[in-house]
Amino acid sequence: MPKVNCSLCAALVEGRTLASPQKLENRILDLIKKDRPEWEAKRGICANCLEQYRAKKFVTYLEAEYQKLSELEHSVVSKITTPSFC
């Protein structure tokens, strides 16, 4: 099996395990380009990098949703997520 470098982290992996940039979601491509403006989206990225950016996309989505909540909802969320010591 020919091994090739991931175009993001440079890990040496089997060519068939690389995800081709043409097949990635636009939102993932945007996140990668934000981190790596020099990346040209011409060569594939490894499964690890893809996982990282998938996770990042999810967090970005959650943050955006959180911003949409009202003040009241924010206080409810912090009550749930802040441990109580009473």
Question: Exposure pattern of 26-43 as b/e (b: 16+ CB <10 Å)?
Answer: eebeebbeeeeeeeeeee
Nearer to Zn ion, 10 or 80 (CB): 10
- Nearest-angstrom CA–CA distance, 86 and 77: 18
Nearer to Zn ion, 22 or 70 (CB): 22
In this chain, which residue has its C-beta nearest to Zn ion? 6
Nearer to Zn ion, 12 or 64 (CB): 12
Write down the least CB distance from residue 26 to Zn ion, Å: 19
Rule CB under 5 A: which residues touch Zn ion? Answer: 6, 8-9, 11, 46, 49
Please name which of 3, 82, 1, 4 lies closest in space to residue 43, comparing C-alpha atoms. Answer: 4
